[in-house]
Structure 1
Amino acid sequence: MGSMDSTSAGRTAAARDRDEEGRARNARPRDGLGRPLPYGEEGVPRQPEGVVRRPEESVSEAQRLLDEGKPFHAHEVFEDAWKSGPAEERELWRGLAQMAVGLTHAARGNVTGGARLLRRGAVAVEEWAAGGELALPPTTDVPSVIAWARDLAAEVERGEGVPVDAGARAPRLRGAA
């Protein structure tokens, strides 16, 4: 009566991927935009979780992934910085992670989610920049990153270029040295 046995359900709740602490971790392969692929297919290598990097390293790794059209994976780098960094930097990294997820949604064709997260990230980074300690490399033009997010959100809402090309529309986190 509406129930599925484990063979018809694929991977059951009991067989869910879990980490050492028992938390759910989806080990399914993912494409460059973070969409799950069927088990057994080859996906894009995932970013290791819980990596503690210096701010410059986080920006460099995230920029590399953004340039490669992998904003979902860049968001994971920002998320590590958000979770492992000092409290006074968390809003910055959270905002950058939201911008990367917004770009991910826009690249997937999700207009509403893309625009909303791009704007939410812009607000978070702007609020941090108004009073936060400098955590980013001095070559990072924070106002330009904020403007990029707001401009892309407006374009996405107008339906311009949706779905966006994530690599071509990636923000420039690093300016000239």
Structure 2
Amino acid sequence: MSDPDDPGEVEPRWLDAAQQQTWRAFLLGTTLLNDRLEDDLRRRFGMSLVEYEVMVRLSESDGQMRMAQLADSLAHSRSRITHTVARMEREGLVERTESPEDRRGVLARLTDQGWDALRTAAPVHVNGVRDYLVDLASPEDFAALHRVMDAVADRLIGDHPARELRSGEAVTH
């Protein structure tokens, strides 16, 4: 694999016109998709897409996870997740507690209010994912998207400090 920071590298393999169009469509589409999903959640429930994903990850782990594991599962920095969880804690959606296993780790736990917020927001979010992505593609194209994004994740996961990004994946979230 080439190193873009190495000045001794050979000329890059430039994208052809079709590849460039596809790349730009991907960038625009993912930006617009994430913006719309975020806007739907903020407008209807006052929550961000990251806050929603935190609640989803917690719900998939019996309502609680170590903070470090939560950050890793979302491929976010630990400081970003700490700030997000602190905001959610002020809103009563999660609480942080000492890990009973080793007392060094900190657990994030969904509160009853957090469970209620997730149950309320999930149908709106899933309908958005369907309306803005899933139902726009044929089953074959959607399967191809899955294969491509799996290949991207497989290639980049090794470069990520936490390699457990795919554990606990959910199909519907």
TM over 0.5: no
The structure with the greater share of residues assigned to strand is 2
The structure richer in helix per residue is 2
| Larger Rg, first or second structure (1 or 2) | 2
Q: TM-score range by the shorter chain?
A: under 0.3
The alignment's TM-score, normalised by the length of structure 1, stands at: 0.25
